[in-house]
Amino acid sequence: MTGLLDRLQAGPVICAEGYLFELERRGYLQAGSFVPEVVLDHPEQVTALHEQFVHAGSDVVQAFTYYLHREKLRLIGKADLLEPLNRQALKIASEVARSTDTMLAGNVCNTNVYDPVDVETHTQVRAMFTEQIGWAAEAGVDFVIGETFRYAEEALLALAVIREAELPAVITLAVGTEPTTREGWSLAEACRRLADAGADVVGLNCIRGPQTMLPLLPPIVAAVDVPVAALPVPYRTHNAEPTFQSLREPDDGGLLPDGRPFPVALDPFTCNRYQVADFTRRAAELGVTYLGLCCGAGPHHLRAMAEALGRTPPASKYSADMSKHAFFGTDATLREHNQAYRNRL
Mean pLDDT of the region 207-211:
98
What is the average pLDDT score of the chain? 97
pLDDT (0 to 100) of residue 250: 86
> All domains of the chain, ordered by start, with CATH?
4-312 (3.20.20.330), 321-345 (no CATH)
pLDDT (0 to 100) of residue 251: 83
Mean pLDDT of the region 49-53:
98
pLDDT tens-digit map of 123-155: 999 999 999 999 999 999 999 999 999 999 999
Is pLDDT above 70 for 281? Answer: yes
pLDDT (0 to 100) of residue 1: 52
Q: What angle do CA 186, 191, 197 make, to 5 degrees?
A: 130
- The band of 97, judged by pLDDT with boundaries at 50, 70 and 90, is very high
pLDDT (0 to 100) of residue 259: 86
Mean pLDDT of the region 209-233:
98
**Cα–Cα nearest to 39, from 100, 82, 79, 103:** 82
**Cα–Cα nearest to 217, from 278, 175, 155:** 175
Q: For 169-206, b where at least 16 C-beta lie within 10 A, e where not — what string?
A: bbbbbbbeeebbbbeebebbbbbbbbbeeebbbbbbbb
Is pLDDT above 90 for 192? Answer: yes
Is pLDDT above 60 for 229? Answer: yes
Is residue 175 within 8 Å of residue 216, measured between CB atoms?
A: yes
pLDDT (0 to 100) of residue 2: 66
Neighbours of 222 (CB within 10 A): 12
Is pLDDT above 80 for 285? Answer: yes
How many residues comprise the chain?
345
pLDDT (0 to 100) of residue 254: 86
Beta bridge partners of 145: 107, 170
Is pLDDT above 80 for 218? Answer: yes
Region at 4 (left for phi over 0; alpha for psi -120 to 50; beta for the rest): alpha
Q: For 104-127, b where at least 16 C-beta lie within 10 A, e where not — what string?
A: bbbbbbbbebbeeeeeeebebbbe
Mean pLDDT of the region 33-55:
97
Mean pLDDT of the region 304-326:
97
Q: For 63-78, b where at least 16 C-beta lie within 10 A, e where not — what string?
A: bbbbbbbbbbbeeeee
Q: How far apart are the C-alpha atoms of 250 and 241, rounded to whole Å?
A: 12
Is residue 65 within 8 Å of residue 86, measured between CB atoms?
A: yes
Mean pLDDT of the region 219-226:
98
pTM over 0.85: yes
Is pLDDT above 70 for 264? Answer: yes
pLDDT (0 to 100) of residue 253: 83
Phi, psi of 134 (to 5 degrees): -60, -45
